[in-house]
Structures are given as structure tokens and as C-alpha cells.
Structure 1
Amino acid sequence: MQIDRASLKYTVKERMRGHYGTLFGITLLPLIILAVILMIVQFVVAYEITGSRILSFNFVSVSGPSGQTNLFLSGRWWSVVLSDLVATSASLGLLSWWRHPDSKQSIASRAVAGFSPQYFPGLILIFLITEVLLNIPMNLGDTGLWWSLAKLVWFVVYIVIQLGIAPVFFVYMDLCDAGQGGIASIGRAFQLSWQLMAGFKGAYFVLWLSLLGWLLLCALVFPLLWVVPYMQTIFVAYYEALRQVKPDLIPTVA
């Protein structure tokens, strides 16, 4: 059994109709707030370093009086990691909304669902594995020919792994809600995610490719405001569709 992309996207658009404010509040508003906080923090640190002699300032780097870039502000890795973590938390709240759209649970509590004590300890470890540990080989500094080839091979392996564990955060959330969570269940969450995606990794990759056009439109600000909730909702809906295809794999959640 396959999941029809066109039907999935149509269902998502219909479910989004009349609920955009809620979806914006769950998925995009936390990222906007985080971006503002990061800019304020960077400005404060820049001022502490350079005082009134700030030589250059942008969102990713600040040069101090000595002309050397401050390590805290150089590169975007830390802001990207924080953004991914916030987006991951929001995706759990989005899954909750998809299942219970009429619930009285507030938008704010759904947006920070991943930071609740029930989920956060396990989710942070899963996040470090999927978003940090697996990316280390791609960020090592050696640029020799053989190392570049090794990076290329790892990139292909990395894509396959990420496709296989794509729903791991949702799976872990469901395990927790079914009373089977905790740090000890992290390995089981990865195992069940891989089993859930068996036979669907290629289709999931094609789904990603089908959304590239929307990502290109994000060069404009306005489409971004709709695309982010739309894409995150699609991945939530795909997970729910996978659960229907393999109903006995993941514990049932009320």
C-alpha cells in the first residue's frame, strides 16, 4: 500500500482552512521569537566586546577590536541547532493539534510541547543524535581528495539514515503518551521509526522533492509565512498515514 501524495496534500490544505492562525502560532511564531532573542543576545555580546567601536555586525558574526571573530558569534551552527530544536518541539504540538483540533489546549502549550518534562529528556538525546552527532563527519575540516570522497559517501548514507528515522520524534512522543517512554525507550523509538519507514523511504524522499518549489518561493517573505506551517503539517499527516498503513507497529494513543 502506498500513500498518495496528491490526496495527502489536499487533505492538509483542507484541514488548514480556517486554522491558519493556530498553525502559525504553533509552527512559525516560536521561530520568530527565537530569532528576535538571538539577535538581541548577539547585539548585547557584541556591545560588551566592542563597546561603541563595533566594527561589523550581522546575524551570524561580529568582529571585535582586534579584528578577530568572536567564537560565540561566529558561524550559524548554534542558532541553527536552537531553531531546529524549537521547530521539533512545535512539530509535536502540531501532531497533537492534528489529532485533536477542537481541544482547548492553548497554542502556546502546543508550541512548546517538546519542552515538557514528559518528552524533553528523551527528545534532547534523540535530537543530539539525529541533528548533531550524525552531522559531525560532514563538518570535519580535512579537505583532501580522499576525505572529500568519504564525505560524499557519508552524505548518501546520511540521507538514507535520515529518511529511515524521519518520524522518530513522533514515535517517541507516542511511546511516552502510551506509558512506554523514558530514556530507556530511545533505542526502541529509532527501531520503530525504521520499521515504520520500511518501504516508504523512497516515497518520503519524493515527497520532500515535491516541496522544493515551495522552498524556492521562500526567497520571498510572504510565502514563508504559509509554507512553514504547510510543510510541517504535511509531515505530521504523513506520519499519521504511515500509522494507518502499519496500525500494529506503534502503540495506540487516545
Structure 2
Amino acid sequence: MSEGLVTRIERYAAYDGPGIRTVVFLKGCPLRCQWCSSPETQHKEQELYYDGELVGRYMNVEEVFSEIKEDITFYNQSGGGVTLSGGEVLLQPRFITDILKRCQEEYIHTAIETSGYGSWDNFEEILEFTDLVLFDLKHLDTGKHLELTGVENTWIIDNLKRAAKLDKEIIIRIPVIPGINDSKDNIVKTANLAEKLGIKEIHLLPYHSLGREKYNKLGRRYLLADLESPSDERMNYLKELVENKGLKVQIGG
């Protein structure tokens, strides 16, 4: 039975997919986004907050599923299900695939949230048991993506194109970071890519600094401490840019 490192499991979530969901947050991510609101999910091993709290626990598939299945009634009533989130799910492919497969055996809707940064072999295996892909796109410019996240986006875009050919439901999600990736050019190019690939929906996720205290507890410096959230006016402007391409748009995820 496969085992993985889980940051936390959140029940009764109304985001990261349709209906009422259980969101399983994994630990470990190859990206280092400057705006990351969950720094506790970045490292691939357990660590301590300054208050002594242990971040991350090793769980096997049945231990995770035992928590997921407690809310099957709510999934059925709301059209919800389970979402596996990050960290990055592609870093624990065997564990993730086994959880998704276990959920589908019980007819539970499955979703993953991913940056798309990982091997296609791992991604393809995971997709076999995934109903919905929430695909985060940080920036379409390769150089900017490297500067902002620590990795290039070539692998990411290639995986998105491959996934789009598998007739899976994909929603592109853009974290809207003022002055960093919220230019008209970047948003329109992302919408154009979605349209070209047959992806019909984009979610615009406004930047927030709610994770700032986590950096303090981990003894790390938060690089965007002075950045403010985008205004409603700005978000609606970006929403209109995407809608002009004939795509469905949602502010927030």
C-alpha cells in the first residue's frame, strides 16, 4: 500500500472544484513562487513551525480514504468530491494515483490542482483517474516564469497541451499578482492558448497575503510583504479580457 506525505486534509471546502469537497494538501513542490501562500507545502520532508508544531504527516492510501469517505453523502448531495492539491501532486505520483483510483471505485468525483511541472509519464497516469484538472498557469513568458517561480514553463506548457488532447475537463487558473503577471498581454495570451487548446474556462485568483504569518513561523522571509490585493475594478477588467475570447471566467476558485 503506497504512502505519501500530507500537509493537511480540509473537509467541507467550497472551492477547488464543484460542490462540497474534501481537499487533501500534499507536501513538496518544485516551484518557489514569490507569492506562495502555503510555504509549509514546499519542502519534501516534515518540518517544524517555530511553535513546535510538526508540519506534514506520512499517511497511507486507506488512511486518507477513511477521512474522504466520511463525507460521501455531502458529495452526492452537492455534486462535490475530493481534490488533491499541493504542494505539487506530480511529486507523489504513485500515492496520488492510488488515492484517485480508490475514490473512483466509490464513484467519488476526483480533481487535482497542479502546476503541470513534472514528467508526462507521471501526469498521464494520474489523469487516468482524474475527472477535473485545475491547471495553474503563473506566467506564459518563459524568462518571467523562471524569475518568479525558479523554474521555466516549457515543461508546463507541453504537459498542458498533452493533457488537453485527452478530452479531460481542464480549468486554467491564473493567480493574479499585481504588477507581476496581471498585464493585458499575459492575460490575453493565456486566454488565446486556452482557446487554441479547446479549454473553455479560466479562473482568476486574486492575490492575497493570508499566508504571510506562515513564513514567520517557518523562519523564512516573505518577498511580497508590501504588495496589496488587486482591486475589484482590476479583476473585472481582466475578466472582460478573457470573456472577449468567448471563454467562461470566474473570479476566485
Higher strand residue share: 2
Tell me the TM-score normalised to structure 1 length: 0.24
Tell me the TM-score normalised to structure 2 length: 0.24
Query: Relative CO higher for 1 or 2, CA cutoff 8 Å, sep ≥ 6?
Result: 1
Higher helix residue share: 1
